Amino acid sequence: SPEELQEDALDSSLKVVANHAEDTVASGLGGCEALGKKLRNQHLLRRVYHTFLDGGNTARQLLAAYALWFLFLPQWKAGRPWDIAGYLIPISGSPRTFISMLAPVLTQTSAVLVEMIAFTLLAGAMDLGRREGNAVDTRDYLVEHHPDILDKAQSSVTKIAESHCPSDRPCGRAALAFIRTAFDTAPADGPPFPPTVMPIACWVGVFRVFVECLTSREAETRDKMRDVQGVITLLCSNMQYVTTNGSDDERAA
């Protein structure tokens, strides 16, 4: 069974899962959905997820990242990539534990795919928190106990404008999607959380990238900033909240 796999067998199993998933994706989304359902029923998802969290073996972690990517490709195609979290939070036990387990993944990894999936999973936790009206165990917990996640998100967002590596751009957009689900007051991603002040470094980072993209002379750079209206809403709503409800220090910042 997946829970009884020996360490030497786990690498082989992950390679099989990733290769199988890649072949299934090539055959169409219907087959990909069937594969994902089969693997979840076999509890293999639990083992793949815990392997993804283990940064002690980066090669194995990357294999697990590929497996997660392919297993949930239909959600990405449907524009709901963060639905993945709905399967994985119960494995962790609670939203708080889920967030705490992903924090070291982001601070330790240098792999673009691992980082992108981690931000997508965190966006999923925020999305579920919004839908359940549970800011305390999701956004508020993350802001208070894991500010390093927001620091990494701000750093990753800068890649949207600065990086010329194509693989860095989806990673930056995943980080931006996470920030939006945590702090946006628009109801597009479910009922919004109660408004709160976005950390100033995070706000400034998003604003800087937004301006750099839109004012660039290169059309390719301008095109990197997708969903312009959504970013404007995020920045303006937070600025308005700080103006009317923020402390003197927050307004000064």
CA triplet 193, 198, 202: central angle to 5 degrees?
130
pLDDT score, position 3: 46
162, pLDDT greater than 50: yes
103, pLDDT greater than 90: yes
Average pLDDT over residues 152-175: 79
Q: For the chain, first and last CA: distance in Å?
A: 55
Helix residue ranges per DSSP H, 109-158: 112-132, 139-145, 147-157
Greater pLDDT, 54 or 251: 54
The secondary structure of 169-209 as a DSSP string is HHHHHHHHHHHHHHH--SGGGSSPPPP-PPPHHHHHHHHHH
Average pLDDT of the chain to the nearest whole number: 80
pLDDT tens per residue across span 35-79 = 556 555 556 778 889 999 999 989 889 988 988 887 766 666 666
24, pLDDT greater than 90: no
Least confident range from 31-45, 87-101, 187-201: namely 31-45
pLDDT score, position 121: 93
The answer to whether residues 73 and 25 touch, using CB atoms and an 8 Å cutoff, is yes
The answer to whether residues 217 and 154 touch, using CB atoms and an 8 Å cutoff, is no
191, pLDDT greater than 80: yes
pLDDT score, position 249: 65
Q: Provide the 10 A C-beta neighbour count for residue 190.
A: 15
Whole-model pTM: value is: 0.84
Report how far Cα 89 is from the mean position of its chain's Cα atoms. Answer: 14
Average pLDDT over residues 171-193: 84
